[in-house]
């Protein structure tokens, strides 16, 4: 980064690119050229800054001015004002919702204050398509240190000391896993990176691969040295084209620089990495299923033991870790296990990346120390609930996790606490819900997902989840009685106890946790035939109050199915047999005459 005086960093993550990020880059370059500044100032496409809600993000370096919601039309003004005249463009600075002041340095924004970035340390700082920028931030020096100064046993001890646990959801101690694979006897072993991020609403791994692909390659090589493997495979979703492209570029550059390939750093250690594509199957996040998929088979899980550490890919010992787990490895090697263990809680050390989404003001990617509370995450970092509505629940752990409520807000987040509350850490999806969300419908939504993604190998998961889904459907249609709730709980417990793999064992969690925490809502559906959140269409009717209706005809005109009839200036009426309950009339009525019952 030496020859330029300063840099303009533009977020090149999927979210910001979808909001015309590439046009912003092009317009900035044109504006710089028009002012003869292209030799002094460089425009860099970085990885995700995390603050997706306010994207596209543009950051000026070295003065660290952080511009939000930039449009391609703003590029010219940014160059003329900020770069040429040295004046900040006030209207594009972040507006603090509480103090109503413009904030120019991200360090002072509520969204960033409580974050500690280890796995995401390079995302938003470097150009992910340039290995030199990774090296300038200590890239590949952890690999050098391990190869030259440490024995595999030393390095494994360092990881064990750090207390790092698997970030894909299982939470198994990483150092221990490496040790098992090291001890397995075989002339050929494999390192696998699980980048098959399947949780709907989670984008942690994708952001790391898009923003800092070299950290994963470096960590895989370190793992290879530790366990005695010379081949690495990255299993990545085909739905992530940008991450795949950046990984390919990174692998090519790493080979050119000799940090992948034969005789790395002249130590005689060989290691290379290949990419394998997933094809859309949630169950492939499970390591045995993932391995079968890499072998070109249906991604069905098999019973453990044997664990992949003994018999994995092509029946050889295989170590599978998730993207975020790998991203933590290089800093741990450089700074020591104790440094990492000092962050977080005693049993859950370090940080965790979460994809904060749903009905929260600041949607984005965050990295926080373990032990932080849900309240801090949702209200301090997330900026509270959208539209000033009331917080109702937060779903963690994806389709395997559960819904937590306001009574859980002050519990420190770690693996054990989340399990004790009926949810789980999962890979890091965190979806916030407000008073308008019906929890029975949310449970049904997740079951929908599980039914579709069940591989069908074992009966409890294949048939049981289908039946659970049908029961939930009955409840949301108002066709179930109270006995249904008992049956629902019993079946959920049977599926949990008897399924073959993690997918089935955890799939009833969204049902059980919503039943535990929102029993009133289930009862309202079956006993009173009402959906308190007003989401279940079958349980609601739109009616026009004939005293309030003035006959303006507006509702009739917006109704997409012509269910509303009435003469001008006389009260209208809704034909409930035609009404599709879309709510368009309610939104348009200026007289408050339409209501849901």
Residues that bind another protein (CB under 8 A): 14-15, 18-19, 52-53, 55, 198-203, 206-207, 238-240, 276-282, 293-299, 314, 355, 357-359, 363-364, 395, 398, 429, 431, 433, 437, 442, 445-446, 449, 452, 455, 560, 580, 582, 584
In the complex, minimum distance from the CB of residue 42 to another protein, in angstroms, rounded to a whole number: 26
3-state secondary structure at position 69: coil
- Quick check: bond before 62 cis, omega within 30? yes
H/E stretch holding 543: strand 542-544
In the complex, minimum distance from the CB of residue 561 to another protein, in angstroms, rounded to a whole number: 8
User: Residue 557's Cα: distance from chain center in Å?
Assistant: 41
* CB contact set of 228 (below 8 Å; sequence gap of 6+): 152, 182, 189
In the complex, minimum distance from the CB of residue 314 to another protein, in angstroms, rounded to a whole number: 8
Q: In 122-203, where does DSSP find H-type helix?
A: 131-136, 141-149, 152-162, 174-183
Pick 27 or 395: Cβ nearer another protein? 395
Pick 163 or 402: Cβ nearer another protein? 402
Q: Contacts for 570-573 with beta carbons within 8 Å, 24 or more apart?
A: 571/544, 571/546, 571/547, 572/544, 573/544, 573/546
Pick 273 or 363: Cβ nearer another protein? 363
Angle formed by the axes of helices 323-335 and 204-211, nearest 10°: 60
Pick 92 or 455: Cβ nearer another protein? 455
Report in angstroms the alpha-carbon separations of 525 from 144, 238, 343, 365.
62, 40, 45, 35
Determine whether 135 is exposed, middle or buried from the number of CB atoms within 10 Å of its CB (0-12, 13-18, 19+): middle
Pick 254 or 284: Cβ nearer another protein? 284
CA atoms of 545 and 566, how far apart (whole Å): 13
- Quick check: bond before 587 cis, omega within 30? no
* CB contact set of 358 (below 8 Å; sequence gap of 6+): 201, 394, 395, 430, 431, 432, 433
CA atoms of 539 and 474, how far apart (whole Å): 11
In the complex, minimum distance from the CB of residue 290 to another protein, in angstroms, rounded to a whole number: 12
Q: Which residues of 10-23 are buried (b: 16+ CB within 10 A; e: fewer)?
A: bbbbbbbbebbbbe
Report in angstroms the alpha-carbon separations of 69 from 19, 49, 56, 297, 374.
9, 13, 5, 44, 27
In the complex, minimum distance from the CB of residue 23 to another protein, in angstroms, rounded to a whole number: 13
Q: Are 63 and 228 in contact (CB under 8 A)?
A: no
Pick 371 or 384: Cβ nearer another protein? 384
What phi and psi values does residue 74 have, to the nearest 5 degrees?
Answer: -80, -15
H/E stretch holding 45: strand 41-46
In the complex, minimum distance from the CB of residue 2 to another protein, in angstroms, rounded to a whole number: 34
Pick 350 or 383: Cβ nearer another protein? 383
In the complex, minimum distance from the CB of residue 448 to another protein, in angstroms, rounded to a whole number: 8
Task: Return left, alpha or beta for 350; rule: phi > 0 is left, psi -120 to 50 is alpha, else beta.
Answer: left
Pick 359 or 572: Cβ nearer another protein? 359
In the complex, minimum distance from the CB of residue 519 to another protein, in angstroms, rounded to a whole number: 21
Pick 66 or 203: Cβ nearer another protein? 203
Pick 115 or 349: Cβ nearer another protein? 115
Nearest of 195, 200, 435 to residue 325 by alpha carbon: 195
Pick 203 or 225: Cβ nearer another protein? 203
Q: Are 392 and 378 in contact (CB under 8 A)?
A: no
Nearest of 111, 332, 126, 297 to residue 218 by alpha carbon: 332
Can you list the positions of beta strands (E) in 258-328? 261-264, 269-277, 318-322
In the beta sheet, which residues pair with residue 236? 195, 277
Pick 575 or 587: Cβ nearer another protein? 587
In the complex, minimum distance from the CB of residue 41 to another protein, in angstroms, rounded to a whole number: 28
Pick 74 or 196: Cβ nearer another protein? 196
In the complex, minimum distance from the CB of residue 53 to another protein, in angstroms, rounded to a whole number: 5
In the beta sheet, which residues pair with residue 42? 7
DSSP state of 385: B
Pick 348 or 395: Cβ nearer another protein? 395
Pick 88 or 537: Cβ nearer another protein? 537
CA atoms of 464 and 496, how far apart (whole Å): 10
In the complex, minimum distance from the CB of residue 224 to another protein, in angstroms, rounded to a whole number: 21
In the complex, minimum distance from the CB of residue 510 to another protein, in angstroms, rounded to a whole number: 10
* CB contact set of 275 (below 8 Å; sequence gap of 6+): 233, 234, 236, 244, 247, 248, 251
CA atoms of 291 and 206, how far apart (whole Å): 20
In the complex, minimum distance from the CB of residue 258 to another protein, in angstroms, rounded to a whole number: 27
In the complex, minimum distance from the CB of residue 356 to another protein, in angstroms, rounded to a whole number: 8
In the complex, minimum distance from the CB of residue 77 to another protein, in angstroms, rounded to a whole number: 23
């Amino acid at each position: 980064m030496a020859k330029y005086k300063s840099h303009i960093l533009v977020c090149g993550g999927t979210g910001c690119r979808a909001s015309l990020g590439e046009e912003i880059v092009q317009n900035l370059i044109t504006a710089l050229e028009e002012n003869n500044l292209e030799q002094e100032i460089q425009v860099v496409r970085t990885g995700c800054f995390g603050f997706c809600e306010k994207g596209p993000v543009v950051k000026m370096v070295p003065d660290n001015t952080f511009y939000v919601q930039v449009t391609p039309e703003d590029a010219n003004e940014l160059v003329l004002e900020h770069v040429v005249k040295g004046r900040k463009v006030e209207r594009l600075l972040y507006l603090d919702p509480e103090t109503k002041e413009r904030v120019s340095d991200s360090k002072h924004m509520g969204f960033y204050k409580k974050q500690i970035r280890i796995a995401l340390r390079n995302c938003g700082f470097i150009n992910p398509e340039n290995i030199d920028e990774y090296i300038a931030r200590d890239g590949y020096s952890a690999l050098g240190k391990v190869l030259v100064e440490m024995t595999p046993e030393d390095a494994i001890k360092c990881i064990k000391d750090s207390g790092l646990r698997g970030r894909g959801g299982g939470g198994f101690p990483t150092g221990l896993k490496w040790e098992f694979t090291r001890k397995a006897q075989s002339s050929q072993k494999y390192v696998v990176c699980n980048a098959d991020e399947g949780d709907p609403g989670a984008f942690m791994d994708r952001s790391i691969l898009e923003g800092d692909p070299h950290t994963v390659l470096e960590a895989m090589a370190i793992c290879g040295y530790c366990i005695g493997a010379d081949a690495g495979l990255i299993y990545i979703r085909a739905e992530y084209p940008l991450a795949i492209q950046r990984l390919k570029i990174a692998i090519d550059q790493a080979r050119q620089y000799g940090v992948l390939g034969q005789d790395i750093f002249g130590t005689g250690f060989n290691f290379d990495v290949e990419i394998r594509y997933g094809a859309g199957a949630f169950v492939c996040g499970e390591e045995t299923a993932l391995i079968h998929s890499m072998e070109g088979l249906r991604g069905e899980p098999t019973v453990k033991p044997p664990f992949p550490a003994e018999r994995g890919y092509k029946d050889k010992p295989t170590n599978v870790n998730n993207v975020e787990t790998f991203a933590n490895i290089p800093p741990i090697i450089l700074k020591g296990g104790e440094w990492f263990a000092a962050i977080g809680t005693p049993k859950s050390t370090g940080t965790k990346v979460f994809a904060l989404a749903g009905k929260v003001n600041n949607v984005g990617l965050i990295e926080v120390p373990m032990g932080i509370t849900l309240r801090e995450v949702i209200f301090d970092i997330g900026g509270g609930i959208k539209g000033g509505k009331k917080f109702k629940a937060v779903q963690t752990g994806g389709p395997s996790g559960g819904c937590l409520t306001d009574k859980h807000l002050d519990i420190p987040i770690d693996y054990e606490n989340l399990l004790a509350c009926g949810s789980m850490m999962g890979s890091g999806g965190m979806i916030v819900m407000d008073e308008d969300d019906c929890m029975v419908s949310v449970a049904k939504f997740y079951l929908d997902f599980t039914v579709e993604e069940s591989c069908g190998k074992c009966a409890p998961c294949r048939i049981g989840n289908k039946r659970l889904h049908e029961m939930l459907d009955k409840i949301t249609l108002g066709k179930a009685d109270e006995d249904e709730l008992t049956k629902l709980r019993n079946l959920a417990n049977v599926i949990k106890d008897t399924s073959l793999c993690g997918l089935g064992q955890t799939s009833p969690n969204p049902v059980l946790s919503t039943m535990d925490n929102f029993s009133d809502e289930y009862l309202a559906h079956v006993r009173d035939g009402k959906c308190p959140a007003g989401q279940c269409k079958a349980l609601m009717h739109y009616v026009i109050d004939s005293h309030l209706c003035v006959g303006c005809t507006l509702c009739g005109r917006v109704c997409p199915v012509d269910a509303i009839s009435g003469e001008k200036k006389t009260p209208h009426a809704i034909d409930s047999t035609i009404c599709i309950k879309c709510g368009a009339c309610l939104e348009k009525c200026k007289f408050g005459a339409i209501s849901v019952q």
